[in-house]
Amino acid sequence: MMLFKLSLKNIQKSVKDYAIYFFTLILGVAIFYIFNSIESQTIMMNISKNTLDIIELMNNMLSGVSVFVSFILGFLIVYASRFLIKRRNKEFGVYLTLGMSKKKISFILLIETLMIGIISLVIGLGIGILLSQLMSVFVANMFEADIEEFQFVFSQSAAIKSCLYFSIMYLIVMVFNTFSISKCKLIDLLHGKKKSEKIKIKNPLVCILVFLISSSFLGYAYYLVTGGLVKLQNANEIYIPIAIGCFTTFLIFWSLSGLILKIVMSFKNIYYRGLNSFTLRQISSKVNTTVFQMTIICLMLFVTICVLSSALSIKNSMTANLNTLAPADIQLLQPMNIKEDRAAKYTTSQISHSNLTSLEVLNALGISLEHDLKDIVSINYYSTPALTFRDTFGTTLEQVQKQFRFLSFDTQENIIKLSDYNKLATLFERETYTLNSNEYMIIGDFDSMTSLRNIALASGEKISIFGATLFPKYSECKDGIIEMSSGHINSGMFIVPDEIVDENFLVANLLTANYKANTKEEKVKIEKQLLDIEESNVYILPEGTTRLTIAEASLGLGGLVTFIGLYLGIIFLISSAAILALKELSESSDNKERFRILRKIGADERNINRALFSQIGIFFLFPLLLAIIHSIFGIQFCNSILETFGNDKLLPSIVMTALFIILIYGGYFLLTYYCSKNIIKERV
């Protein structure tokens, strides 16, 4: 009972030390519950089966991510416990001096950890349950679901999972604390604060040399990733710039730790102004002894910025793409004129009927489209071995092959008649074109491929097809789509004059139309009739794409990426900020005597607080600045990989990411400053 009372008093007495620890635990529990309760929140939403399947997939992935998140939070809690034990070394030394056994001290820590865990778990779950109601509205808005009647939802599975995971973490902390106390020596506990970290004076010339070399290698890593995987032999080699980036980040911090003080000392007016000399020496000392920590924090912030920006950008772009990339209600793609190279997967009857268009196949199956569809546009695709990807580059082929080694150059190109494209463009409300009898043009919207094709178009490369020689009308690809999708996938479609096309090379028919129906229920009914057709051994069935299915897939993928990105991004951000905050609080505790000496020699409280603010601010800003520089190139790489979704919504996503960083990272900074200010005000 006495040990229990002592533990309770210790918690009350050390509430300033526990503030950030409590805040981090509560925040971690709340976020853990919120993202694991999404499954229960979908109960009150009126959503389609496809959307429900997507949400179930998202929940399964979030459960897997939660395991990874629990490891991060577990590491964070153990790290925080180390800080708290270090803060109380002298207290534990006094206990030992008074005759208390290490076993009883361990028992006190066990009770404290248990009480802190229970309190943070209860408060965190309470906040999580309340905020999860807002998440319900966010989920409903994300998946465009109808909330028939708003109900207060409590997720029992999320609560059990939160309690289980965090209980395991606290148990690990208890074991760690017991082990730490058992290894402590009395003299180290009593005089721990008098020990200063050993700072090795680094040779400035060596630091400059290391900085220049590491910056050069980092620049090379940036060069490798800014073109996606173009500069690399294959996708697996992405690990090369990642490894270079991690190692050079460490070297940059190592070299700067030996240069900061030397550089600033050369500016006498700055160095000797106010308490700048004290502040800069403190900063130099911290960076010098926390190079590895700064590296880890910088990389975590880099991942946070890239993950949040990319995830939010994908969601925003996919939502915006729907109107521009799926401007009609339905498309049916029908393979035609099956040749020997494609005959293996089809029956003899299917091959004999492969001269039919999608409209003719559906009519043959007894499905009439006259009452359901309007604005029907039917166009044909053509393909010939005389026009492959390789053939389109002409004299520029060698240049392109050197730059883009991973591409396959033997794929046959798709060709469309000019009149067919103009009919489709009119339906899509896009620009129509004219061509002379010896001209061709390319329509596309996949930036990487269109920029590649522009090399040949700009040099005026001719093509020879169907016995005719054609020259490009335009020196670049024109923006346009043929097949509807959720992303920019048109890598290039050749538009040629009608009169040169040989019908013997017809390979597919594409039917595009709108529904006569107005309500979603009626549209779903039409789609079921057109798409849910039993397999036929007589006819090849058309492949259907609809605006509704694209919308659901876009919302599902956008929501999936957004939630996982937010989950990981916020946890990484909290972890980075919490590690820095705990390190700063530990430093403030150790430096109380230094601040007391400053007061004795005449420094007023305002200057001391300003020095503390600058010290903590620079320490928080240092890894963030390098992480932002990394992110400039990292986001470019992410865009090159995810460019099919578009990047026109990247700026709003970056702004939103910046707001998250200001709110969470900045919040930790201010909390750290005020807690540190309270610590150094204490009198010894």
Confidence of residue 230 (pLDDT cuts 50, 70, 90): very low
Q: What is the structure's pLDDT at 11?
A: 62
Separation in Å, CA 552 to CA 47, 141, 318, 558: 10, 13, 11, 10
Q: How far apart are CA 596 and CA 99, in angstroms?
A: 32
**pLDDT for res 346:** 79
pLDDT band at 677 (very low <50, low <70, confident <90, very high): confident
pLDDT tier, 10 (very low <50, low <70, confident <90, very high otherwise): low
DSSP class per residue in 281-321 = HHHHHHHHH-HHHHHHHHHHHHHHHHHHHHHHHHHHHHHHH
Amino acid, single-letter form, for residue 6: L
Q: For residues 124-132, give the mean pLDDT.
A: 86
Integer CA distances (angstroms), 467 to 317, 381, 436, in order: 43, 18, 16
| Parallel/antiparallel/unpaired status of strands 493-496 and 463-465 | unpaired
Question: CA 458, CA 465: separation in Å to the nearest integer?
Answer: 20
Between residues 661 and 55, which one has the greater pLDDT? 661
- Residue pair 55/154 in contact (Cβ under 8 Å)? The answer is no
The reported pLDDT for the residue numbered 175 is 77
pTM: 0.74
Query: What span, in angstroms and rounded, lies between the C-alpha atoms of 255 and 246?
Result: 15
Give the orientation angle of helix 291-325 with respect to helix 239-257, to 10 degrees. Answer: 140
Return the higher-pLDDT residue of 658 and 199. Answer: 658
Output phi, psi for 521, to 5 deg: -60, -45
| pLDDT 10s digits, 591-616 | 777 777 777 777 777 777 787 888 88
pLDDT confidence tier of residue 166, bands split at 50, 70 and 90: confident
Question: Given this model, what pLDDT does residue 267 score?
Answer: 62
The separation between CA 276 and the C-alpha centre of its own chain, rounded to angstroms, equals: 39
Q: Above 50 in pLDDT, residue 409? A: yes
At residue 382, the pLDDT reads: 94
- Can you tell me the distance from the alpha carbon of 18 to that of 84, in angstroms, rounded to the nearest whole number? 8
Two structure tokens written together for 475: 């020196």
Q: How much helix, strand and coil, in percent to the nearest 5, is found in the chain?
A: 70, 10, 25
SS3 category, 377: strand
Is it the case that residue 43 has pLDDT exceeding 60? no
The strand pairing partners of 416, in sequence order, are 495
**Comparing 154 with 511, which gets the higher pLDDT?**
511
pLDDT score at 21: 77
Is the dihedral angle over the CA atoms 313, 315, 316, 319 positive or is it negative? positive
* Contact partners, residue 37, CB within 8 Å, separation at least 6: 128, 129, 132, 135, 153, 155, 157, 158
> 669 pLDDT exceeds 60?
yes
Residue of 239, 196, 282, 153 lying closest to 619 (CA atoms): 282
Residues 268 and 280: their CA atoms lie apart, in Å, by 13
Among the listed residues 366, 328, 262, 378, the one whose alpha carbon sits nearest the alpha carbon of residue 550: 328
Pairing of strands 439-444, 493-496: antiparallel
Residue 275: partners with Cβ closer than 8 Å, 6 or more residues away: 598, 603, 607, 608, 610, 611
Nearest residue to 498 via CA among 429, 597, 420: 420
Q: How confident is the model at residue 196 (pLDDT cuts 50, 70, 90)?
A: very low
pLDDT, tens digit, 9 for 90 and up, residues 327-355: 898 999 999 888 765 666 778 888 887 88
- Under 8 Å between Cβ of 408 and 381: no
Report d(CA 260, CA 281) in Å as an integer.
Answer: 9
Residues 469-474: what's their mean pLDDT?
Answer: 92
What is the percentage of the chain residues whose pLDDT exceeds 90? 14
SS3 (DSSP) at 386: coil
Which 8-state DSSP code applies to residue 413? P
Copy the structure tokens of residue 41. Answer: 């929140």
- The helix/strand count (H/E) of the chain reads as 25, 12
Residue 533, pLDDT above cutoff 90:
no
Number of C-beta neighbours around residue 63 at 10 A: 14
Q: Please, what sign has the CA dihedral across residues 645, 650, 655, 661?
A: positive
As a residue count, the chain comes to 684
Q: How are beta strands 493-496 and 415-417 bridged, if at all? A: parallel
Q: CA–CA separation, 24 vs 568, rounded Å?
A: 15
> Sign of the C-alpha dihedral, residues 204, 205, 208, 214?
negative
Query: What long-range pairs does 656-661 form, CB within 8 A, spacing at least 24?
Result: 656/308, 656/312, 657/304, 657/305, 657/308, 657/309, 657/312, 657/569, 660/308, 660/569, 660/570, 660/573, 661/301, 661/304, 661/305, 661/573, 661/624
What is the predicted pLDDT for the residue at 83?
67
Tell me how crowded residue 192 is: count the other CB atoms within 10 A of its CB: 18
Residue 129: count of CB within 10 angstroms of its CB: 19
Residues 6+ apart with CB under 8 A from 120: 22, 25, 26, 29
Average pLDDT, the chain: 79
| Average of per-residue pLDDT across 612-632 | 88
Over residues 373-406, the pLDDT tens digits come to 888 899 999 999 889 888 888 888 877 777 666 6
CA atoms within 13 A on the CB side of 646: 21
Task: Give per-residue pLDDT as tens, 267-316.
Answer: 667 666 666 667 666 766 666 667 888 888 899 899 899 888 888 777 77
Of the two residues 185 and 301, the one the predictor is more confident about is 301
How many CB atoms are closer than 10 A to CB 29? 25
pLDDT at res. 379 = 92
Residue found by looking up tokens 């730490």 in the block: 180
Fill in the DSSP letter of residue 473: S
Q: Could you give the dihedral angle defined by the CA atoms of residues 52, 656, 663 and 122, in that order, rounded to the nearest 10 degrees?
A: 0
Closest by alpha carbon to 587, among 675, 665, 662? 675
Q: Per-residue confidence at 236, pLDDT binned at 50, 70, 90?
A: low
pLDDT of residue 435: 93
Separation of first and last alpha carbons in the chain: 30
Residues paired with 189 in a beta bridge: none
- At residue 229 the predicted structure's pLDDT band, cuts being 50, 70 and 90, is very low
Helix (H, G, I), strand (E, B) or coil at 143: coil
Q: What is the SS3 assignment for 427?
A: helix
Q: Between β-strands 373-382 and 493-496, what pairing exists: parallel, antiparallel or unpaired?
A: unpaired
Tell how strand 415-417 and strand 463-465 pair up.
unpaired
Residue labelled with tokens 């900085």: 211
Rounded CA separation 399/667 (Å): 52
Q: What is the mean pLDDT of residues 62-82?
A: 77
User: What is the rounded distance in angstroms from the CA atom of residue 279 to the CA atom of residue 604?
Assistant: 15
Percent of the chain predicted with pLDDT > 70: 76
Mean per-residue pLDDT for 218-226?
85
Helix (H) or strand (E) holding 115: helix 102-142
